[in-house]
Chain A
Amino acid sequence: MVIALKALSKNKFKTTLIFISMVISIMAIFLISAIADGVVGMYSAMLKTDGDIVVTQKGVADTFFSDINRSIGQSIAKIQGVKSISSLVLGAAPVNKLPIVGIYGVSQNRFNSYKLKSGHYPKAGEVLLGYKIYQTLNQPSFVNISKKIFRVSGTFESKIGFEDGGVVMNIDEAGDIFHKNASILLVSVKNIQDGLSITKKINAISNEIEAKTADSFIDSYNQFKIIKTSSDVISILALTMGVIGIVSMMSMVVNDRKAEFGIMRSIGLSSWGIINELLIETIIIAIVAYIVAFGASELVLDLIKQVDKFQGYINGEITFALALKVGIVSLLMALLGAFMPAIYASRIDPMSLIQRGES
């Protein structure tokens, strides 16, 4: 360990390069995963608010394109174990100067899931603004949504970025804007164990709709799959770039230090000892790079949250699970990157290492 640290500080320049390439790779993985998880997490949280079961139009995978008739709710309400049903129109439209804003047309019984900060819940011709968008639009008294003017009835606060940067209104008025009766129904049940059986009963009511438990809806939701796959692909690319960076830098380091390894072999340090030595050095860099990348990523995510342009829709958070996952990936990156050059260094006849140069 002492030797590894001394060796690293001797080779400052290359150590720094390896360090930087690792920090960048690890940050890339942190950011893309956190942001992807954030989008998925926010949307999931939104659906799961009073929604144990999600009902959509059958065969329409996207909540935005789903179109159902909310009268079906009356039949669902009769199923035993159903606690409440709320209907939503989900859409996106320009609001004043902002080109795309999430619009939530909700049934009356869902209003209380939005925590009022000022004013009252919207009546006809009124909208409730998320606090973030309220600020972004400079605290307007009226807003223009799809060429219609609405009075601002008040503001609400939400941890979910999509809501905090969104607009809530009565479902009928949202239905007029988006030309539909409802996008989805959210059913909450008295007893969560009954979720699956109630889901089956709902599906039996009509073949124009499709009900899923919130969890399985989220698991199978196409948009989420696309986001997750993209983030995984980018993470793997970042990992690969990191590994390649380490391999090439470590190869140079090994080349620079050939004589040194030759000497070590000649005085009886084993091949494994040398491999070990190089791995320890790389792992030390990886650990420091991980810590720095973690801090830097937190900082960047924090900055992104404050950028008005993103309207709070990009809201990544580094969870413990993500930190752990990336930690493991970082170690893997270090080991994969250092292993080949280390094996190479340990294989050569000590004498041919030594003859190359003077230590």
Chain B
Amino acid sequence: MTIEANDLEHYYGTELILKGISLSIKSDSFTVIVGESGSGKTTLLSVLSTLLRPTSGSIRYDDKNIYNIDNIDIFRRNSIGFVFQFHYLISYLSLRENISLAVLDKYKHSVDPLMNQLGISHLTKRYSDEVSGGERQRAAIARALINRPKIVFADEPTGNLDTKNAIGVYELFRQFRNEGIGFVVASHDKKILEYADCIIEMEDGHVKQITQR
């Protein structure tokens, strides 16, 4: 799958945040978005991932214009995963319930194997405030991966983790990339660049440079 963005513009109020962005991302690659704080990484990621409707411009997943998709919720559930900087696990649900929240029937049986694969199988009944930051983030990653999406968007997924845990997350991403799931990750961490197939550099609402590896 290819994601094509065409002339994206987005305003917050009267402020133009994305200033005409066009790019194309392959869904089987590891793409990293870098740039200074405030350059628009989160905004771009939200727009690319269908969570935020841009003021203008279009986004195509293959040949489908996402604003013409009848049921965007189902599309998201089937094809897109998200990992945020804050884990955003729902605090009153156990890790297992969080991961299962939107699971498709056909993947119900893979909740436990996936938790096992991510090294959190002993924590199924725990709540997010009863586990470590790294464990929380792995649970959030499991939630993003459970329906075998084509692509996972991650916004500073390691922003709250130490180096060791951060590298653990990148390794996980690479492992699943090798299984055919694409990743688009916004990050400040230089370490992640070692894993990237493609680097998009943002500057003040523009794409400054795209580097393919």
Number of A-B contacts (CB under 8 A): 69
- Tell whether, in the assembled complex, residue B92 and residue A351 are in contact, meaning their CB atoms are under 8 Å apart: no
Given A267-B102, A351-B52, A359:B86 Cβ within 8 A: yes
Q: How far is the CB of B197 from chain A (nearest CB, A)?
A: 24
Q: Determine if B2 is an interface residue (Cβ-Cβ < 8 Å).
A: no
List, in ascending order, chain B residues with CB within 8 A of A2's CB: 97
Q: Name the residue among A266, A271, A351 with the largest chain B CB count within 10 angstroms.
A: A266
Task: Give 1 or 0 for each of B85-119: 1 = CB within 8 Å of chain A CB.
Answer: 01111111100010001100000000000000000
Q: Of B13-21, B71-79, B171-179, B201-209, which stretch is located at the interface? A: B71-79
Closest-by-CB residue of A relative to B79 is A268
Q: Determine if A303 is an interface residue (Cβ-Cβ < 8 Å).
A: no
Task: Give 1 or 0 for each of A307-329: 1 = CB within 8 Å of chain B CB.
Answer: 00000000000000000000000
Q: Determine if B1 is an interface residue (Cβ-Cβ < 8 Å).
A: no
- State the main secondary structure of chain A at its contact with B: helix
Q: How far is the CB of A257 from chain B (nearest CB, A)?
A: 9
Q: How far is the CB of B158 from chain A (nearest CB, A)?
A: 16
- Tell whether, in the assembled complex, residue B93 and residue A3 are in contact, meaning their CB atoms are under 8 Å apart: yes
Size bracket of the B interface = 20 to 34
- Tell whether, in the assembled complex, residue A269 and residue B93 are in contact, meaning their CB atoms are under 8 Å apart: no
- Tell whether, in the assembled complex, residue B76 and residue A268 are in contact, meaning their CB atoms are under 8 Å apart: yes
- Tell whether, in the assembled complex, residue A350 and residue B51 are in contact, meaning their CB atoms are under 8 Å apart: yes
Closest-by-CB residue of A relative to B81 is A267
Complex Cα distance, B77 from A273, in Å, reads 13
- Tell whether, in the assembled complex, residue B102 and residue A269 are in contact, meaning their CB atoms are under 8 Å apart: yes
Q: Determine if A7 is an interface residue (Cβ-Cβ < 8 Å).
A: yes
- Tell whether, in the assembled complex, residue B52 and residue A270 are in contact, meaning their CB atoms are under 8 Å apart: no
- Tell whether, in the assembled complex, residue B101 and residue A269 are in contact, meaning their CB atoms are under 8 Å apart: yes
Q: How far is the CB of A14 from chain B (nearest CB, A)?
A: 13
Q: How far is the CB of A343 from chain B (nearest CB, A)?
A: 15
Q: Determine if B30 is an interface residue (Cβ-Cβ < 8 Å).
A: no
- Tell whether, in the assembled complex, residue A268 and residue B102 are in contact, meaning their CB atoms are under 8 Å apart: yes
Size bracket of the A interface = 20 to 34
Closest-by-CB residue of A relative to B143 is A267
Q: How far is the CB of A272 from chain B (nearest CB, A)?
A: 8
Partner of B82, one of A260, A267, A269: A267
Q: How far is the CB of A236 from chain B (nearest CB, A)?
A: 36
- Tell whether, in the assembled complex, residue B51 and residue A268 are in contact, meaning their CB atoms are under 8 Å apart: no
Q: Name the residue among B51, B71, B74, B76 with the largest chain A CB count within 10 angstroms.
A: B51
- Tell whether, in the assembled complex, residue B88 and residue A354 are in contact, meaning their CB atoms are under 8 Å apart: yes
- Tell whether, in the assembled complex, residue A268 and residue B73 are in contact, meaning their CB atoms are under 8 Å apart: yes
Q: Determine if B137 is an interface residue (Cβ-Cβ < 8 Å).
A: no
Q: How far is the CB of A45 from chain B (nearest CB, A)?
A: 53
Q: Determine if A352 is an interface residue (Cβ-Cβ < 8 Å).
A: yes
Q: Determine if A358 is an interface residue (Cβ-Cβ < 8 Å).
A: yes
- Tell whether, in the assembled complex, residue B77 and residue A267 are in contact, meaning their CB atoms are under 8 Å apart: yes
Q: Determine if B60 is an interface residue (Cβ-Cβ < 8 Å).
A: no
Q: How far is the CB of A161 from chain B (nearest CB, A)?
A: 50
List, in ascending order, chain A residues with CB within 8 A of B6's CB: none
- Tell whether, in the assembled complex, residue A359 and residue B90 are in contact, meaning their CB atoms are under 8 Å apart: yes
Q: Determine if A212 is an interface residue (Cβ-Cβ < 8 Å).
A: no
Q: Determine if A132 is an interface residue (Cβ-Cβ < 8 Å).
A: no
Complex Cα distance, B93 from A270, in Å, reads 19
Given A10-B92, A358-B86, A3:B78 Cβ within 8 A: no
Partner of B73, one of A269, A349, A359: A269
Residue numbers of A with Cβ under 8 A of B are 2-3, 6-7, 9-10, 259-260, 263-271, 273, 349-352, 354, 358-359
Given contacts A267-B143, A351-B51, A354-B84, 13 further A-B contacts (CB under 8 A): A3-B97, A3-B101, A6-B92, A264-B90, A264-B101, A267-B76, A267-B81, A268-B78, A268-B80, A268-B147, A271-B73, A350-B52, A358-B86
List the 5 closest A-B pairs by CB distance, nearest first: A268-B77, A10-B92, A270-B73, A351-B52, A351-B51
